[in-house]
Amino acid sequence: MAKLEAAEYESFETTKQIDEDGNEFWYARELQKVLNYSKWENFSKIINKAILACKNSGLDIGYHFPDIRKTVYMPSKANPKMIIDYKLSRYACYLIVQNGDPRKEIIALGQTYFAIQTRRQELADTFNQLDEDNKRLVVRGNIRQWNRLLTEAAHNAGVITDEEFAVFQNAGYSGLYGGLTVSDIHRRKKLKEKEKILDFMGSTELIANLFRISQTEEKLKMDPTSTATEANDVHYSIAEKIRNAMIDMGTTLPENLPTPEKSVQEVEREEIKKLRDPKIKLMLDE
């Protein structure tokens, strides 16, 4: 069941798009497939319900449900066909899964996924007011997105195989952590074999790594390399500069920051539980 949920959660992530302004969105036609609706006619009814819910909430339908036209070519027909699609905001997707068929397991998973993503954005908007665990939740979510962008940039820069990517990752950590590799940091944090070091970082350490990841991605896009070795050098150099800046400012170096007792997954599960708990009943309801 856990593997199923992870795979389904990943399907929501992989169909997510980012526009030129950095805003995330989902195409309705792709979301239809993820949610196991075989016919557009049935899925469009769910969209219409979600649009009505958006309108009743007083929010801008044009922002959350902008419609677009697409041209498709049918195998058995010479002339192309024009179809309608939507660029859905996260909130639009949330409304859709809330109005979906509750008998579908993927709908239940979608409700949890988009509820957490919506909650994560709400947390990001008030980041400075958050407690430490919720700050970790926000930054770790950002790192997941930036790591995907870095993976793509590294691949375009010449990092192709899994082995090359492992070396590339180690180069970044080594530059930021004074020569420590991923394995070194893993042992230093006293983690179990399958536990990920990013999931056991406090918000300060996560932010340092987010800066490493985002700046390396930007550098590789601006100044493309042609070999994995060159990309490794860029990753190490960016990370080392961030480390040196921390030294100059007199802040605690990342390897000396405390390791949280709870993983980000534990924090996320606690947030899910809060979302699923029924609201406190008011006396007026009795």
Q: What's the pLDDT tens digit per position in 212-251?
A: 999 999 999 988 888 999 999 999 999 999 999 999 999 9
Phi, psi of 252 (to 5 degrees): -65, 130
The residue with greater pLDDT, 124 or 149, is 149
Specify the pLDDT at position 141: 85
Specify the pLDDT at position 281: 42
Distance separating alpha carbons of residues 90 and 107, to the nearest angstrom: 15
Confidence of residue 124 (pLDDT cuts 50, 70, 90): low
pTM of the model: 0.59
pLDDT of 78 > 70? The answer is no
The residue with greater pLDDT, 95 or 283, is 95
